[in-house]
Every structure is written in C-alpha cells, then in structure tokens.
C-alpha cells in the first residue's frame, strides 16, 4: 500500500468537492481528490443537468401545442422519446469536460478514482493508497431515499439515478413524492406525452410558501397532471407495465411506470466516520457554523452535511472551507440568503422566510408587499401573465421573497444579492430596470412597498403643497 501526504484531501467529486479542489489547488495547496463513481457527481450525471435538459424538451413540445394565442396553429408534437434521451445525454457530455479528471489534473489536483474510508482522525484509505491529510473535506453528496414501502422491492421503479437512461417512454407514470424533483419530472413527462399521477403523503411542495405553491399546483393540474395529497403509500404491487399503489386511506392508483422521488439520504456508509471521531445526525454529518465536524480537522459540505440540498449551496460551502482551511480565517455558513427554485412552468422561487414564517417570527413588525405578473408588460406580451412576487419586509429590509411565475429563478437572484448584503427596499427602488423586462417586477414590488407611504400620506401631501406655494 502506497502512503501519501497532502495539505487537503477532498472526498467526493460533485459540485462542492470540485469547487474546493480547484480553488485550493490554484491557490497553491497540495490537493488529493477521491471519487469512486462518476466525476461531476449527482448534479451533472443524475440531477440538475439532465433534469433541466428533459424539462427543456418538454417545454419545446408544449410550445408546439400551445401556439394559437400567437396566431400560430397548434400542432400535436411527435415525440421521439429515445431521441429526447439522446438530447439529455448530449447535454451531459458537453458539460462533463469541465468536471473531468483531466481538467482537474491540469489544475494540479491528484485525482484517485477510489472511494475513501477513514482509518484514523487524519488518515483515509482509498484502494491501494493510505492518505494522511492536514485537512479533509467530505463532499460525498446524497442519494435517492427509497422508503421501505411494502411490496416496493418486488416491482420495477426508477429514481433520478436511473430515469435519464430509460429510452421507453412511460405511458402512465406514477410519482411517489410531491417535492421539487417530483413536480419537475411530472410536468416534463406530461408535456412529452405521458399520463402522470403524483402521490404525496403530506402537502405537495410543502416547503414552499403555500400561496405561491398553490398557483403552481393549479397550473400543473390544468395541464392534466393528477396530484393526490395526504396520500401516504402503504403498499405497492404489480409487475412491469402494471403497477398499483394503495394509500393508507384506501385510495388506489394504477400506472405503467413508477418514479420514487421522496427525498435524499447522505452518502456516508463507506466513510467509517467513527474511526475519525465524526458524529452524525438524522440528516447527515454533524457540523458547526464553520462546517467543521466533531473532528476539527475535517469539514463536511453540501448534501452530506444534512442542510439545504442544492448545488449552489455546495458551491457556497466550498468558499467557506477555502477561507477557513487555506487561510485560517474565521468563516461561518448562513442560510437566510440562500435561494431555491423549482424549475416548472411557472417557476417557483423562494429565499428567506415565507409569509407564514415571517408572521410567526416578526408579528406586527412585518409588512407584506405583493405585485402581480399581469401588470408587467413583458409578461403580457409573451402571454405569461400568471404569477406574483411577494416580499416580506421588516424595518425596510426584506426578510423573505416568494415568486411564482415565468423566470422566477432569474428574478430571485436580485433578492439574493440584496439579502446577502443586508440592503433595504430603498436600494431596490433606486434601481432602473430596462423596459420591457420581467426584471421590472422586482422594482415594481419595491415601488409597491413605498407607494402607500408616499401617496397615501397626509403629511407628504401637506409638504408638497407648502413647497409648491413657496418655490418660484
């Protein structure tokens, strides 16, 4: 067994691990990167990239059959599902070189294609290598959570790790799980021609603001997607092409294919964390605000840390670790300025507190501002007037923003900037947005916050009258 020493050992070549490895190596650290599966991790191979590619295909098909409002005849799209999967795989292949072993080796990172497991607080075994590291970053990500539903082990099912390799189009897709992954895939598959039923044990999109989530759920149902809530699956049975799901309250759902999308679990099984003195929680590895585990020489970032499970969070964590591990500077991770988006049509975006959370925390100090899409000229011109932006404000500063509508994921970016820098509504109001853009919605929302203070104020009106009387 060869013995290696390094400044920084990164376990996992997903988005977070790659960001740490690239940044650290380019800043002069000696870096070893372990990856026992595919470079790029879940996001590139099974998650963000292929799902958005499939969504784009569904959008193209939907546009063909919904063009009459523009004076263009609707046509029924002819979907070659195998070719659609070719499109998905081509998108992956175009992005893959950026995450490849060759690229990272060119940056000075030593890449070892093995899984790693701790043998002591400072040593990790990876295949034929024993690695001693001054600092270790665990970035092993997460995998689909498959709950122990009776009968599930006897029927064929897909997860996000297998769905994008299947070339036979589902006739009637049953999706267990009404979160972002379930809803995104439900709409994409429906637009490509499948019947779709979503079965959710609680409330669909339950982590999001209920008002904005309801707008999206109504839109999905209008496209023909059946969404069953409070439907906890109690038994699954059947055979390929004929699957049945029975819920605890006696409802029965039948379909031809099954997708499990009930959540994620941290990838920690191979790590032997106990050997390194690293504790875990129900959701992942136990960390402090600096992303350090109970072994202060070891960090955990991204999904495996058990918090918000988004690629951009892993990238954010990478910056925290580089600041701490390479420069010895204090750095703490926060979550109040982290946005997330469900990439359906309309899109659903959230940052900070929802309305209910803001009311519970801030009470009467909360001011609520709404502005609808149907008062935006660009939304009207593009026949996308469905949606609204809602801003929760305390002492002039936004503490949460919920957006549902076209390009909500793009619009939320401004609020992420505002909240990360603790700016106020006045700073958004000062912005000049180009006309006509959906970006004007953000400025108009800020304007809606100040309008009552300016136009409905007797004091302001009195001041204006006095100034008009005295100025020449």
Q: In whole angstroms, give the CA distance from residue 349 to residue 401.
A: 8
User: Do 307 and 316 contact (CB within 8 A), yes or no?
Assistant: no
* Structure tokens that stand for 211 in this block: 């008002």
Whether 206 has a binding-site annotation, put simply, is no
Whether 141 has a binding-site annotation, put simply, is yes
Q: Is 315 exposed, middle or buried (0-12, 13-18, 19+ CB in 10 A)?
A: middle
Contacts of 151 (CB under 8 A, 6+ apart): 235, 236, 237
User: Do 312 and 302 contact (CB within 8 A), yes or no?
Assistant: no
Residue 68 pLDDT level (bands cut at 50, 70, 90): very high
Q: In whole angstroms, give the CA distance from residue 329 to residue 94.
A: 37
Q: What pTM does this model have?
A: 0.94
Q: In whole angstroms, give the CA distance from residue 213 to residue 217.
A: 6
- Domains annotated on the chain, with CATH: 2-39+100-143+265-327 (3.50.50.60), 152-263 (3.50.50.60), 339-455 (3.30.390.30)
What percentage of the chain carries pLDDT values higher than 90? 93
The whole-number pLDDT of residue 436 equals: 97
The whole-number pLDDT of residue 223 equals: 98
Residue 459 pLDDT level (bands cut at 50, 70, 90): confident
Whether 200 has a binding-site annotation, put simply, is yes
**What is the mean pLDDT of the segment spanning 325-353?**
95
Whether 183 has a binding-site annotation, put simply, is yes
Q: How high does pLDDT run on average in the chain?
A: 95
Whether 382 has a binding-site annotation, put simply, is no
Nearest to 65 by CA among 52, 74, 73: 74
Residue 456 pLDDT level (bands cut at 50, 70, 90): low
The whole-number pLDDT of residue 274 equals: 97
Q: In whole angstroms, give the CA distance from residue 119 to residue 110.
A: 20
Q: In whole angstroms, give the CA distance from residue 138 to residue 123.
A: 13
Residue 10 pLDDT level (bands cut at 50, 70, 90): very high
The whole-number pLDDT of residue 460 equals: 66
Q: In whole angstroms, give the CA distance from residue 278 to residue 296.
A: 9
The whole-number pLDDT of residue 464 equals: 66
Q: In whole angstroms, give the CA distance from residue 118 to residue 122.
A: 8
Q: Is 59 exposed, middle or buried (0-12, 13-18, 19+ CB in 10 A)?
A: middle
Residue 454 pLDDT level (bands cut at 50, 70, 90): low
The per-residue pLDDT for range 417-444, each reduced to its tens digit, is: 999 999 999 999 999 999 999 999 999 9
The per-residue pLDDT for range 238-285, each reduced to its tens digit, is: 999 999 999 999 999 999 999 999 999 999 999 999 999 999 999 999
E strand spans, 113-229: 117-120, 123-126, 129-138, 142-144, 172-176, 195-199, 226-228
* Structure tokens that stand for 47 in this block: 């998650």
Answer whether residue 358 shows pLDDT above 70: yes
Handedness of CA 100, 102, 104, 110 (dihedral sign): positive
- The half-sphere exposure of 408 on its side-chain side, counting CA atoms within 13 A, is 31
Residue 472 pLDDT level (bands cut at 50, 70, 90): confident
User: Do 238 and 257 contact (CB within 8 A), yes or no?
Assistant: no
DSSP state of 127: T
**What is the mean pLDDT of the segment spanning 347-362?**
97
Q: Please give, one letter per residue, the 3-state secondary structure of 294-337.
A: CCCCEEECHHHHCCCCCHHHHHHHHHHHHHHHHHCCCCCCCCCC
Whether 17 has a binding-site annotation, put simply, is no
Residue identified by tokens 């595919």 is 38
Q: In whole angstroms, give the CA distance from residue 183 to residue 344.
A: 7
Whether 140 has a binding-site annotation, put simply, is yes
> 368's torsion region: left (phi>0), alpha (psi -120 to 50) or beta?
beta
Whether 246 has a binding-site annotation, put simply, is no
- Asked which of 140-144, 361-365, 386-390, 449-453 is least confident by mean pLDDT, the reply is 449-453
Answer whether residue 453 shows pLDDT above 80: no
Q: How many CB atoms lie within 10 A of CB 48?
A: 18
* Structure tokens that stand for 22 in this block: 């690239």
Q: In whole angstroms, give the CA distance from residue 29 to residue 415.
A: 35
Whether 303 has a binding-site annotation, put simply, is yes
């Amino acid at each position: 067994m060869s013995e290696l020493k390094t400044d920084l050992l990164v376990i996992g070549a997903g988005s977070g691990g790659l960001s740490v490895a690239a940044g650290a190596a380019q800043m002069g650290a000696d870096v070893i990167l372990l990856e026992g599966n595919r470079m790029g991790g879940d996001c590139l191979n099974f998650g963000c990239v292929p799902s958005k590619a499939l969504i784009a295909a569904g959008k193209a098909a939907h546009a063909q059959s919904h063009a009459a409002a523009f004076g263009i005849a609707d046509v029924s799209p002819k979907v070659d599902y195998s070719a659609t999967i070719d499109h998905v795989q081509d998108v992956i292949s175009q992005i893959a070189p950026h995450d490849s072993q060759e690229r990272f080796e060119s940056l000075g990172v030593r890449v070892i294609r093995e899984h790693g497991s701790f043998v002591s607080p400072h040593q990790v075994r990876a295949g034929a290598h024993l690695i001693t590291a001054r600092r270790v970053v665990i970035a092993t990500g997460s995998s689909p959570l498959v709950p122990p539903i009776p009968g599930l082990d006897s029927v064929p099912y897909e997860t996000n790790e297998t769905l994008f390799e299947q070339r036979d189009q589902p006739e009637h897709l049953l999706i267990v799980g009404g979160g972002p992954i379930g809803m995104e895939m439900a709409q994409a598959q429906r637009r490509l021609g499948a019947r779709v039923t979503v079965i959710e044990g609680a409330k669909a999109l339950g982590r999001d603001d209920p008002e904005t989530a309801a707008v999206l759920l109504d839109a999905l149902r209008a496209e023909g997607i059946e969404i069953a809530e409070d439907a906890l699956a109690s038994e699954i049975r059947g055979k390929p092409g004929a699957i049945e799901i029975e819920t605890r309250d006696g409802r029965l759902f039948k379909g031809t294919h099954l997708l499990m999308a009930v959540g994620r679990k941290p990838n920690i099984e191979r790590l032997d964390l106990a050997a390194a003195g690293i504790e875990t929680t129900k959701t992942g590895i136990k960390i402090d605000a600096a992303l350090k585990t109970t072994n202060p020489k070891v960090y955990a970032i991204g999904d495996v840390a058990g918090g918000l499970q988004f690629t951009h969070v892993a990238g954010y964590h990478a910056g925290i670790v580089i600041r701490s591990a390479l420069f010895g500077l204090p750095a703490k991770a926060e979550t109040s300025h982290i946005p997330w988006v469900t990439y359906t049509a309309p899109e659903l975006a959230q940052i900070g507190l929802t309305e209910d959370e803001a009311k519970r925390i801030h009470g009467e100090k909360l001011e609520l501002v709404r502005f609808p899409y149907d008062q935006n000229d660009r939304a009207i011109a593009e026949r996308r007037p469905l949606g609204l932006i809602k801003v929760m404000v305390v002492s002039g500063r936004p503490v949460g923003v919920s957006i549902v509508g076209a390009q909500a994921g793009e619009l939320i970016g401004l609020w992420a900037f505002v909240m990360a820098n603790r700016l106020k509504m006045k700073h958004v109001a000062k912005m000049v947005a180009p006309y006509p853009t959906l970006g004007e919605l953000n400025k108009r929302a800020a304007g809606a916050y100040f309008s009552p203070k300016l136009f409905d104020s007797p004091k302001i009106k009195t001041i204006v009258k006095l100034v008009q009387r005295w100025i020449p």
